[in-house]
Amino acid sequence: MYLLAPLLSRITKHLHLIIPKKNWLFLTIPISILVHILVGNITPLTKNFLNIHSHYPLKILIIALLLLGLQGIRKTKK
């Protein structure tokens, strides 16, 4: 993901968002879980994340990574 971060940052600049490379690293796993759900490819991590009765440390970790990843995103002025 670190190699894709500059490309993804350029793409998001068209949406008037500035996302630093560090934030892309934090967003890697939450984005991958979302993509796996959308595509329908249920991996063990995705299955454990979707299980509502257990794996609470995993859920806390994913939510923490999502919050850390969203923390440094800024909007640019037009």
Give percent above pLDDT 70 in the chain.
96
Contact criterion met (CB below 8 Å) for 45 and 33: yes
- The confidence band for 1, taking pLDDT boundaries of 50, 70 and 90, is low
**Model confidence pLDDT, tens digit, residues 13-54:** 888 888 888 898 899 999 999 999 999 999 999 999 999 999
Every domain of the chain and the residues it spans: 5-75
The confidence score (pLDDT) of residue 51 equals: 95
Query: What is the distance, to the nearest Å, from the Cα of residue 30 to the centroid of all Cα atoms in its chain?
Result: 4
The confidence score (pLDDT) of residue 2 equals: 64
Q: What is the mean pLDDT of residues 7-14?
A: 85
